[in-house]
Amino acid sequence: MKRILMAVLVLCFVSLAVSAQGVYFDIGVGIGPGWTTLDGDDITDFLGGSTDVAVELGLKAGYGPVGNLPLYGVVEFCGMGHRIDASDFDYWFQINSYMIGPGIVVYPIPLLQLGLGLGLSFISSVDSENSSSDTSKGGFAWNISAAIDIGSGDHGLLLGVKFFNAINTLDNSYEPVLNSAILSFFARYAFRTKEQSY
């Protein structure tokens, strides 16, 4: 599956690069409510946690716009960190879920950016005892976003909202499924060539 996804990714970007007009790049951070379940059970409830705030980081790089279309093909690396404070036990636990894969960015109007990404996912975890035990056998992640693009020329500031979801099977004896999600409000720096004719 990984080889097929990478082959499709390379093919898409070679074809996009032929007709693309310039480089696209964005990077930024978001914050918002997070949810993490293990085999359907909410980890925050299980640990008696009090924190449902998560942080999302991400970057995209690619080419566009493609021809006369306000469409950009990108490769995206993003992730979320969901820290759960179990105050009853003086203990905290953080799960980090990551995604790498292809995506698209489209401008239906010059001020509005819409994005979609999907790809392979993996996780890491850490706790207040400095132990890191959870690893992933591999998983799938996706995200969708909408943002206002403020800026002039090739430089912009994206202010928007993003939903990110990662589903991973943990690599341990009973292979539980970890599902992490965040609805983040983000700010990003963007460098892009905008097609002005749409």
Assigned domain for 197 exists:
no
Assigned domain for 198 exists:
no
Indicate the residue type of 36: T
**pLDDT the model gives residue 197:** 45
141-to-31, 43, 105, 163, 179 alpha-carbon distances in Å: 18, 19, 17, 11, 10
Contact between 176 and 170 (Cβ < 8 Å)? yes
**pLDDT the model gives residue 133:** 62
Assigned domain for 19 exists:
yes
Beta-carbon contacts of 23 under 8 Å, excluding residues fewer than 6 positions away, are: 61, 62, 63, 191, 192, 193
Q: What count of other Cβ atoms lies within 10 Å of the Cβ of residue 11?
A: 10
Assigned domain for 196 exists:
no
In terms of residue numbers, what domain contains 132? 2-191
**Helix H or strand E encompassing 9:** helix 2-19
Number of domains within the chain? 1
Cα separation, 17 vs 22, in Å, equals 9
The model carries a pTM of 0.83
**pLDDT the model gives residue 3:** 55
Assigned domain for 35 exists:
yes
| Sequential pLDDT tens for the chain (198 residues) | 555 555 555 545 444 444 447 899 999 999 999 999 988 888 777 666 666 789 999 999 999 998 888 999 999 999 999 988 876 667 788 889 999 999 999 999 989 999 999 999 999 888 777 766 667 778 999 999 999 999 878 899 999 999 999 999 887 767 789 999 999 999 999 998 875 544
The end-to-end CA distance of the chain, in Å, is: 37
**pLDDT the model gives residue 72:** 95
CATH of the domain at 66: 2.40.160.20
Beta strands in 67-111 (DSSP E): 71-86, 91-109
Region of 64 on the Ramachandran plot (φ > 0 left; ψ -120 to 50 alpha; else beta): left
Tokens 């070679």 sit on residue: 14
**pLDDT the model gives residue 76:** 97
**pLDDT the model gives residue 161:** 98
Cα separation, 181 vs 139, in Å, equals 14
What is the token pair recorded at 90?
Answer: 């003086």
* Residue of 125, 16, 26, 110 lying closest to 80 (CA atoms): 125
Beta-carbon contacts of 196 under 8 Å, excluding residues fewer than 6 positions away, are: 110
Cα separation, 81 vs 141, in Å, equals 14
**pLDDT the model gives residue 198:** 44
**pLDDT the model gives residue 50:** 62
Assigned domain for 124 exists:
yes
Assigned domain for 90 exists:
yes
What is the token pair recorded at 26?
Answer: 């964005």
